[in-house]
Structure 1
Amino acid sequence: MPPAESITSVLVLWGVIGYLLGSIPSGMILAKVMNLGNLREIGSGNIGATNVLRTGNKKAAALTLLFDAAKGAIVVLAARLLAAEDAAQVGALMAFLGHCFPVWLRFRGGKGVATYFGILLAVSWPMGLAACVIWLVTAAVSRYSSLAALLTAGWMPVVVGFTDRGEMFVLTATLCLLVYARHISNIQRLRKGNETKIGAKKAESEA
């Protein structure tokens, strides 16, 4: 973690802001506005960009990806500008939790991958780009979105540990654990060999 610069009340404030911003269900809102149907009744039933893509609307999926990533990035940049780096990382973690467990959806949210990338890019764009590269290479080779997310989350604490961004280690390690927890069903399908590949028409998994 970065040096403690903010008082407890400031950390709590940015934690709340991060959670509320992260809990905005971008995919659900876009699906409703663009008349794409109820995401809970489509594909995996999740609210992320992967499931929005299953509606057949690539524009909606791209916008969902962008907005979900922006939720993580905005809170980091705002907290860094108005408070300090410790508040930025607290806000980032809570934005991720907000996306995964939004109070408005009875705590049934997405798996947080887009928000994860938005957070990393905002905290340290070189680390964010490294994460994007790991995801893209893994996805291109394996064709599994979930595997790409899992390997990216798993490798980032290691990558951070070998750089001068050691203050990101606790954040990336915590996010790694959360990403794995949100992908338990995907891990089980990967082990059984029946996880759905990127581009498959019928999909059951959500990254």
Structure 2
Amino acid sequence: MVQVIWPAAAYLLGAVPFGLLVARRFGQDPRRSGSGNIGATNVTRVLGRRWGALTLLLDAGKGALPVLGCRWALAGEPSAGWWVAATGLAAVVGHCYPVYLRFRGGKGVATAAGALGAVCPAALGVAAAAFALVAGASGYVSAGSLAAAALMPALAAVLCPAAPVLALAWGAAVLVWVRHADNIRRLLRGEEKGWRRRG
């Protein structure tokens, strides 16, 4: 079963901590600054928007590239859709629980967006709009991320109603919510850090 190579490779690629690698160019470690997370939001806090945007693109690419590669390599196989879904989910798991960092990784939002966008770009577009709306209105990136993740399964069901796509959307959404457990608690207590100053 050579197909299993794709999820395995996706996990190893997803586990590459691009946020940490970008920050190290400047002698910084995002795990010791800001929120302590290695994702794009915290890299933006530590290094600014330019490097945060680069981290976002790299993290999204970790999800999209293995999914696109798997879909191309297994095109025409009856089980291709499920292997593609497994590959996308493995990339998100890798980002959240990276073997290179003792399984302490990021929140999975950008990598999940890349993986899901590769199989259902229309759903990603709507989810991205929801993210921007909620994050902009609330002032919290985490609230936007949670809203977008919660919408993805429903959007996939309407726009890309294939069982493997739904499985990927549900799996990624659950992972994102699990990884945001601390953010959810802070939001409920009114202690979450916003992206804009409050005064």
Same structural fold, with TM-score higher than 0.5 when normalized by the shorter chain: yes
Question: Which structure 2 segments of 5+ residues have no match?
Answer: 75-79
Task: State how far apart, in whole Å, the 2-side matches of 1:154 and 1:10 are.
Answer: 33
Task: State how far apart, in whole Å, the 2-side matches of 1:117 and 1:36 are.
Answer: 29
Q: Deviations over 1:119-146 (max 9, x none)?
A: 1211111111111111111111111111
Mapped contact 1:157–1:172 kept (Cα < 8 A): yes
The equivalent residue for 2:175 is 178
Q: Deviations over 1:141-192 (max 9, x none)?
A: 1111111111111122122223342332121111111111100000001111
* Distance verdict in 2 for CA 1:127–1:10, change over 3 Å: farther
Task: Answer with 189-198 or 65-74: which moved more.
Answer: 189-198
Mapped contact 2:120–2:156 kept (Cα < 8 A): no
* Identity value in percent: 41
* Paired AA for residue 65 in structure 1: L
Mapped contact 1:10–1:87 kept (Cα < 8 A): no
Task: State how far apart, in whole Å, the 1-side matches of 2:117 and 2:27 are.
Answer: 30
- Tell me if 1:195 matches 2:192: yes
Offset at 1:200? 4.1
- Tell me if 1:80 matches 2:77: no
* Paired AA for residue 131 in structure 2: W
Q: How many aligned residue pairs are there?
A: 192
Task: Answer with 36-45 or 24-33: which moved more.
Answer: 36-45
Kindly report the root-mean-square deviation, in angstroms, between the aligned alpha carbons of the 2 structures. 1.5
Task: State how far apart, in whole Å, the 1-side matches of 2:102 and 2:136 are.
Answer: 35
Residues 51-90 of structure 1 mapped to structure 2, 5 A cutoff: 51-83=42-74, 84-90=80-86
The equivalent residue for 2:22 is 30
Task: State how far apart, in whole Å, the 2-side matches of 1:165 and 1:129 are.
Answer: 16
Mapped contact 1:138–1:147 kept (Cα < 8 A): yes
Task: Answer with 38-47 or 53-62: which moved more.
Answer: 53-62
Any idea what SS the aligned residue of 1:109 has?
coil
Task: State how far apart, in whole Å, the 2-side matches of 1:176 and 1:164 are.
Answer: 16
The equivalent residue for 2:77 is none
Q: Deviations over 1:18-40 (max 9, x none)?
A: 1011011101111112x141212
Mapped contact 2:15–2:94 kept (Cα < 8 A): yes
Q: TM-score of the superposition, structure 2-length normalised?
A: 0.91
Q: TM-score of the superposition, structure 1-length normalised?
A: 0.88
Task: Answer with 190-199 or 154-163: which moved more.
Answer: 154-163
Task: Answer with 24-33 or 55-64: which moved more.
Answer: 55-64
Question: Which structure 1 segments of 5+ residues have no match?
Answer: 1-8, 202-207
* Paired AA for residue 70 in structure 2: A
> Larger % of helix: which?
2
Residues 19-168 of structure 1 mapped to structure 2, 5 A cutoff: 19-33=11-25, 35-83=26-74, 84-167=80-163, 168=165
Mapped contact 2:18–2:55 kept (Cα < 8 A): yes
Mapped contact 2:139–2:194 kept (Cα < 8 A): yes
* Paired AA for residue 57 in structure 2: L
